[in-house]
Amino acid sequence: MTLSELTKSISEHCQQQVSGLHVLAISDTSEINLENHRGRLKEQGLGLVGNNQDVGFFIHPTLALNAETGFPLGLSAVQIWTRAMDHADKKARKYKQLPIEKKESYKWLASAEKIVYSLDGGDARMVTHIGDRESDLYEEWATVPKRQNHHLLIRACQNRCLWNGTELLYEYLAKQPLEGTCSLKVQGDKRTGRRTREAFLAVRFVPVDIQRPASLNAADYPTHLGIYAVEVREIQPPKDQEPILWRLLTTHEVMSLEKALQIVQWYCWRWRIEQLFATIKLAGLDIESSQLESPDAIKKLTVIALSVAVRTLQMVEGRESPQLSASLAF
């Protein structure tokens, strides 16, 4: 079976689970680092990974969740690619001047296109695309919401200029009145030294009109876009922990505290894709220790491992939800 046939099979299984549902489509990128096997692996099919020294490849799956419960429904899309062995840095490639189609960040728009097959094809009632700060691209804001019943929810990465004003997004959002508070269980992360704790958050929200970046010259992108911004800022965080500060942007209308808290909950469920990556790596299947000699075979194995990892998440969730049908996973 080819790699494309494997990914299509996974997508089709997801397609069977989404009819009538509002689906959260959570995308993210991880690398499969195979540097420890460089000497015995065939070179064809390998490329540089994040540090521009080690070899391996990248994966960019989209995990579909039920928006009402957070239950994982499957993988609606999987992208796999390699960088060239002579991959230059962004400055050398004049990265900012490249059109989005020539950038690696096009993966976010490509995922949105692929999702249409499995989620719209499966008669999902609504789709909300969720991404971290890397996916805060004006091109994505300008294109994805054009599809009927498709929304975006992205953590802001850029302190964007607001339309017809002198203020920037972050400062404008911080000046909004406090609308309420909420508590949030923060997941621990050994990589960053973050401890598991309960955080208390101040919530603000406001409609905003973001301006097209000056560096984006494409004539087919609008000069400004109306969206909604939600800020959650931790109150009295522990002294040795970085405080939670999320600025969430969305095309969903946010005009009440209840809706703002719903947006926060949906973004919290983005953690599920981190669990997915952990399951295929050291915390679970340890895919990077594979003894296969062909990079193409390891890529196929990685897709199968992603499928197994989704079923693992489903079974863990299913222990607390005996009313769910086993056909969701099997």
Which string of DSSP letters, residue by residue, matches 45-86?
A: T-EE-TTSSSEEEEEEEEEEEETTT--EEEEEEEEEE---TT
User: Which residue ranges make up each domain of the chain?
Assistant: 1-132+270-330, 157-253
**pLDDT digits 0-9 by tens, 42-75:** 878 899 998 888 999 999 999 999 999 999 999 9
pLDDT band at 89 (very low <50, low <70, confident <90, very high): low
pTM for this predicted structure: 0.93
Check if the beta carbon of residue 59 is closer than 8 Å to that of residue 80. Answer: yes
Nearest to 75 by CA among 43, 134, 122: 122
* pLDDT, tens digit (0-9, with 9 covering 90-100), for 147-195: 999 999 999 999 999 998 779 999 999 999 999 999 988 887 777 778 8
Task: Give pLDDT tens digits for 199-232.
Answer: 999 999 999 999 998 888 766 889 999 999 999 9
User: What are 284's two structure tokens?
Assistant: 């679970």
Percent above pLDDT 90 for the chain: 68
Helix or strand or coil: residue 235? coil
Per-residue pLDDT at 7: 93
pLDDT band (50, 70, 90) for residue 90: low
Whole-number pLDDT of residue 283:
76
Given a cut of 60, whether residue 12 has pLDDT beyond it is yes
Determine the pLDDT at residue 93.
Answer: 56
